[in-house]
């Protein structure tokens, strides 16, 4: 019997061919991009606070899709990747914190199996009694690597972890780690809810624009949204799997979110856009739509956002 292959809503799939790859390669040679300017690091990293914090809700952007989320005294890492390279490409911006500067980690949330979201050498270096929450299809790979406290999730499944509820929600993407395992594990995002607070955090993972945003917004009172904005160019090649900044805002509005925190830009050159370009497009569209500037929290790398419990 063949291995189970997972699908997107409406069976949408990435159908790019080898010819498309060649076309993209030719286009890239004709593009001149400024890679000398990168998105900034925070000058004031709150390492002592993060080490001791057991009460406040805080969100620290490490870079790319990696966040340290402190919620109800639980330390959560999303898609932990400290890798200095991604394939042949060197990392463009260093992680906002070193692994040694992290507090002990309680929970790791994985959105999918692509290497820029799941890096086993990074996981090996983390400290703490960690529970790994992973998309269905990935647990066996974790077990083989020696990780036993691993919980697999299907779309819309909810799990309790101390005072938190963790729900795995849909995304439009795909995954592959070897020549033969395309889409043999799933992909998605995570809703993190507290039982005693008014807030929740939606870690969106990695995806293209899809109708699922409206459904997520209908099922959950979405509050803080960690939303990808990069790796979208050329859009004719990327749009099924990677959202552009304008559509990220459209998705945020459909989710009816309160705070937008952009991610998935500026660390690795996975496509032709640069980190500063993605952020500039986001800011321009936010201004064009006359949205509340207080709802957009574009964190610097290593910056911590503290959320008031009563907000």
Q: Residue 285 — φ and ψ, nearest 5°?
A: -70, -40
CA 149/CA 68 separation, integer angstroms? 20
* Sign of the C-alpha dihedral computed for residues 240, 5, 168 and 124 taken in this order: negative
Give the model's pLDDT for residue 35.
86
Give the model's pLDDT for residue 309.
59
CB atoms within 10 A of CB 10: 10
Give the model's pLDDT for residue 311.
53
Q: Helix, strand, coil % (nearest 5) of the chain?
A: 25, 25, 55
Contact 226, 202 (CB under 8 A): yes
Which top CATH class is 41-307?
A: alpha beta
Q: Is the pLDDT of residue 308 over 90?
A: no
Share of the chain above pLDDT 70, in %: 98
Give the pair of three-digit tokens for residue 185: 């594990």
- Mind listing the pLDDT tens digit for each residue in 131-179? 999 999 999 999 999 999 999 999 999 999 999 999 999 999 999 999 8
- Mind listing the pLDDT tens digit for each residue in 196-217? 767 899 999 999 999 999 999 9
Give the model's pLDDT for residue 284.
98
Give the pair of three-digit tokens for residue 301: 């790398």
Give the model's pLDDT for residue 100.
97
CA 167/CA 216 separation, integer angstroms? 11
Chain centroid, CA 195 distance in Å: 23
What sections of the chain are H helices per DSSP?
18-29, 47-52, 120-125, 139-144, 212-219, 235-238, 245-255, 275-288
CA 99/CA 30 separation, integer angstroms? 38
CB atoms within 10 A of CB 53: 17
If residue 218 lies in a helix (H) or strand (E), which one and from where to where? helix 212-219
Q: Is the pLDDT of residue 28 over 90?
A: no
Q: Give the pLDDT mean for 246-264.
A: 97
Nearest to 64 by CA among 294, 228, 254: 228
* Sign of the C-alpha dihedral computed for residues 226, 216, 114 and 12 taken in this order: negative
- Mind listing the pLDDT tens digit for each residue in 35-65? 889 999 999 899 999 999 998 999 999 999 9
Contact 64, 93 (CB under 8 A): no
CA 49/CA 54 separation, integer angstroms? 9
Give the model's pLDDT for residue 253.
97
Q: Place 104 in a pLDDT band, splitting at 50, 70 and 90.
A: very high
- Mind listing the pLDDT tens digit for each residue in 80-100? 999 999 988 899 999 999 999
Give the model's pLDDT for residue 55.
87
CA 161/CA 114 separation, integer angstroms? 25
Nearest to 281 by CA among 299, 295, 298, 301: 298
Q: If you search the block for the tokens 């009694």, which residue do you land on?
A: 129
What sections of 78-137 are H helices per DSSP?
120-125
Give the model's pLDDT for residue 89.
87
Q: What is the pTM of this model?
A: 0.95
Beta bridge partners of 69: 59, 76
Q: Give the pLDDT mean for 107-123.
A: 97
Give the pair of three-digit tokens for residue 151: 């919980």
Q: Give the pLDDT mean for 292-309.
A: 93
Q: Give the pLDDT mean for 55-80.
A: 96
Give the model's pLDDT for residue 36.
87
Chain length of the chain: 311
Give the model's pLDDT for residue 188.
98
CB atoms within 10 A of CB 121: 9
Q: Is the pLDDT of residue 248 over 90?
A: yes
């Amino acid at each position: 019997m063949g291995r189970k292959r997972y699908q997107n809503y409406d069976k949408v799939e990435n159908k790019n061919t080898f010819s498309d790859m060649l076309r993209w390669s030719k286009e890239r040679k004709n593009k001149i991009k400024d890679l000398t300017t990168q998105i900034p690091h925070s000058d004031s990293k709150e390492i002592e606070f993060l080490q001791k914090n057991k009460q406040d809700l805080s969100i620290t952007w490490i870079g790319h899709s990696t966040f340290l989320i402190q919620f109800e005294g639980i330390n959560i890492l999303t898609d932990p990747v400290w890798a200095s390279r991604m394939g042949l490409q060197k990392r463009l911006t260093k992680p906002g914190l070193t692994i040694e500067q992290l507090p002990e980690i309680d929970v790791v949330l994985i959105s999918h199996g692509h290497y820029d979201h799941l890096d086993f050498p990074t996981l090996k270096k983390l400290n703490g009694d960690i529970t790994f929450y992973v998309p269905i299809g990935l647990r066996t790979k974790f077990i083989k690597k020696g990780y036993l406290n691993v919980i697999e999730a299907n779309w819309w499944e909810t799990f309790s972890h101390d005072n938190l509820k963790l729900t795995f929600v849909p995304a439009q993407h795909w995954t592959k780690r070897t020549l033969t395992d395309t889409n043999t594990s799933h992909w998605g995002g995570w809703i993190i809810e507290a039982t005693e607070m008014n807030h929740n955090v939606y870690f969106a993972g990695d995806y293209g624009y899809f109708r699922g945003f409206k459904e997520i917004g209908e099922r959950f009172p979405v509050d803080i949204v960690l939303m990808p904005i990069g790796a979208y160019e050329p859009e004719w090649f990327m749009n099924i799997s990677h959202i552009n900044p304008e559509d990220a805002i459209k998705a945020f509005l459909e989710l009816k979110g309160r705070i937008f925190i952009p991610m998935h830009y500026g660390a690795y050159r996975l496509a032709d856009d640069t980190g500063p370009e993605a952020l500039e497009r986001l800011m321009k569209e936010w201004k064009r739509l006359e949205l509340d500037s207080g709802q957009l929290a574009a964190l610097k790398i290593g910056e911590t956002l503290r959320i008031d419990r009563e907000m």
